[in-house]
Structure 1
Amino acid sequence: MNTEYNDNREYKNALDGLRFSEEAKARMAKRLMDTMERPEQAPETRRRVRRMPRIAVIGVAAALALGVGASATGVLKTAGEAFAGVFGPTADTEIIDKIGRPVGASDTDNGVTVTADAIIGDKYHYAVTYSIEKKDGAAFDIDLTDTVGEGLLPMGFADGDTSLMGYFGGAHGGSYFYDADPADNAIQYVETREISDGEVRGHAVRAKFSDLCVYAENDTGELERRVIAEGDWSLKFNLDFEDTSVSLPAGQTFELNGMNAVIDEITLSPLALRVDYTVDSTVQWDENAQSGRQSEHDSAQMHKYFESVQILVNRKDGASIDLSNAGGSIRPEGGKTVCQKGDIFTEIIPIEEIASLTVAGMEIPVQ
């Protein structure tokens, strides 16, 4: 059963600043989530737990263009330049340029060019930032001020598929559009992924997109899709980057809602954190739940095994980042439940600035 969990809290909050009614906001959030997030194929027993990415929230992997089926145009952006709109203008560009890579792979159809500008990543995560622009320099037919909070644009592709070539394990993630520079005619598109099996580095990405669209609610409250650029775009590039992830001591045991659990792995990078743990009990899914919908029973199981695990990143300056609502995966295996919980930081954080992690109430020193 490959279903996703997402309560849409972030997108609902983003919609609060618009003129829609509360009911309309909820509907639009749900539909945009369904449209913009496309999970990779995964084993039937694995469940996806994910969060909608925010502007300045990404985690990820770096790459070099293969140049197959695509051509590079214009001047390559550095990884720091390409991700400035993602991690913010004050992001540590030295770290981004060290572990990220410019890509420059592009494809043009019907006068519209899609370019993979750069990617950045760690052991289990990668993100790609794309630019989409018309070759004639004209702007797209969209109101760039009508954002869905935090600069997100209500856009999507009519069809799209991004996959790691030769990878057959589970993956989850998200995508979003934003405008990095109102002075130019380009729109930025960001994809993020976390894989569940194996490592990111060394794989090639194949990305295919069709028909660029904008979404808006009509007078009856229905979400409508309008195509603003027809075309089919295909790009391919390698994930080849410097992985700066570190593994922290694992094996700690803890009590989770009356069950015994053990930490299997903790992986930390300047971009993201992931905690793998196993619960000595089998999660029980509702076999009668409707496809694509989470029942009350499954919601309770998700909280019991996954959501209730607290994760904090404690910085040396005294600030803490709460990742308790992070995404990940959960699956029954051999009479136990295997969980992976992780997230991308809202900024680049040098590992030397992190004092410790708190996982399920246990403090784990970083250095």
Structure 2
Amino acid sequence: MRNRSHIHQLFEALAPKTEQKEKMLQNILVQSRNEKIRHRGFAPVKRLRSAVLAAVLMAGLTTTAFAAAYMGLDEAFLKFLNPVNHEQAQYLSNGAYVVDKQVTNENGTLTIKQVIGDSNLTYILMDFSAPEGTVLDAARYRFLDNDITTRQNFQSVGFKALDDGNRSDNKISLVMSVMTRNSIAGQKVHLRLKDLQAADPLPGIFETIIPGTWETEFKLDFKDYSTLYPVNQNITMYGYEAVLKSISVSPISITLKVDSSYLEEINEAAGELKEIGDNKHLDNFPITINYADGTSETTAIFSGLYLSEHISEQILMIKTFENVINDKEIASIVFFDKEIPIQTGR
């Protein structure tokens, strides 16, 4: 795993520099002083120019705020994603959207900070602050009930607690993952979370520690990171015919869609997920990612979503990763007996 200093370097490279802020402020002050000297004694003109300057500044602030919605990547998100280099960090920043919605009740404050996503996976970064005096120092957190209303008739939701550097305070950061059949980018969603739960490391059991309901609405105006590759090629899965319809590739997930009239036979041949550790199972439908530099990796451990629908005779597989992958350097993806070339570069 890449070290923490690498992440700090990436974040610092994206963040505004103090010297730049000070220089910008100094330039504004100097310009303001010059304007006052130049038009001394002409009050109507001075007032007019001041009004124009104020309007320009307001427009600039509005434009800056709008741009920041897409250009900033929260440091917690940066650490969670762990991009491979500065270029990918900038690419991820350009797709992030700032929500900044806050919901408070007597039991705590929930802040929805940012969202990013692709064609099938959406990450929502949120902070939770408990009342003063409460210590949130558990290994894992989640909400017992979670309901996010989208235009998708199926979704899978999960939570991951992030290391915020202080386990003795009343605050935590969480990433909520939402996996769907299709992208939910651009949708306005209604989110309702109820009863914060905590647990020790696996196999610890979740228990409610802070009751309450937090409810809000916000838009998912992130930029879809995915590149869709139509495939439509015959493959053989555990000895049965199928058609690999498409592969969708992004830094945060790889999604495969498969059609087959032998879903029951394929699932029976694949068998149950074999547990090899606490909440770790072997991937019965692995993919191998071949990179342009000759290296490769295989999804030996199942992480993501496997959805088999017998009525439509379709399989949806969303492969997620511990850290983002270098999707722009993928040369090909191997799935069972088929190797699919992937175009590299942005």
Please say whether Structure 1 and Structure 2 have the same fold, judged by a TM-score greater than 0.5: yes
2 CA distance for matches of 1:175 and 1:298? 31
In the alignment, what sits opposite 1:361? 337
In the alignment, what sits opposite 1:270? 251
Which of 119, 125, 128 matches 1:129? 125
1 CA distance for matches of 2:188 and 2:121? 14
Q: Is the 8 A contact 1:85 1:180 kept in 2?
A: no
- The answer for unaligned runs of 5 or more in structure 2 is 1-67, 275-281
**Matches for 1:276-295 after TM superposition, within 5 Å:** 276-283=257-264
Q: Is the 8 A contact 1:107 1:234 kept in 2?
A: yes
Matched residue type, 2:224: D
Distance 1:89 1:245, change over 3 A: closer
In the alignment, what sits opposite 1:333? 311
Which of 89, 95, 98 matches 1:99? 95
Is 1:180 matched up with 2:161? no
1 CA distance for matches of 2:323 and 2:208? 33
Matched residue type, 2:194: S
In the alignment, what sits opposite 1:164? 149
In the alignment, what sits opposite 2:23? none
Backbone CA RMSD of aligned residues:
3.4
Is 1:208 matched up with 2:192? yes
2 CA distance for matches of 1:352 and 1:226? 42
- Identical-residue share of aligned pairs (%): 21
Q: Is the 8 A contact 1:177 1:187 kept in 2?
A: yes
Distance 1:173 1:161, change over 3 A: closer
Greater C-alpha radius of gyration: 2
Q: State the 1:247 CA deviation.
A: 1.6
SS in structure 2 at match of 1:85: helix
Q: State the 1:299 CA deviation.
A: 7.4
In the alignment, what sits opposite 1:225? 207
With the length of structure 1 as denominator, give the TM-score of the two structures.
0.62
Deviation by residue 1:299-345 (Cα, 9 ceiling, x = unmatched): 73789xx95433112222333232353422001136xx311112223
Q: State the 1:264 CA deviation.
A: 0.9
Q: Is the 8 A contact 2:230 2:245 kept in 1?
A: no
1 CA distance for matches of 2:246 and 2:193? 35
Q: Is the 8 A contact 1:269 1:351 kept in 2?
A: yes
Deviation by residue 1:20-77 (Cα, 9 ceiling, x = unmatched): xxxxxxxxxxxxxxxxxxxxxxxxxxxxxxxxxxxxxxxxxxxxxxxxxxxxxxx999
1 CA distance for matches of 2:155 and 2:186? 16
- The answer for unaligned runs of 5 or more in structure 1 is 1-74, 145-152, 286-295
In the alignment, what sits opposite 2:75? 81
Q: Is the 8 A contact 1:282 1:333 kept in 2?
A: no
Q: State the 1:185 CA deviation.
A: 4.4
2 CA distance for matches of 1:164 and 1:115? 18
With the length of structure 2 as denominator, give the TM-score of the two structures.
0.65
SS in structure 1 at match of 2:166: coil
Higher relative contact order, structure no. (Cα contacts within 8 Å, ≥ 6 residues apart): 1
Distance 1:208 1:352, change over 3 A: same
Tell me which protein shows more helix as a share of its residues. Answer: 2
2 CA distance for matches of 1:297 and 1:356? 28
Distance 1:102 1:360, change over 3 A: same
Deviation by residue 1:231-271 (Cα, 9 ceiling, x = unmatched): 32112111112223112240111112221111011111122
Matched residue type, 1:189: L
Is 1:300 matched up with 2:234? no
2 CA distance for matches of 1:169 and 1:90? 34
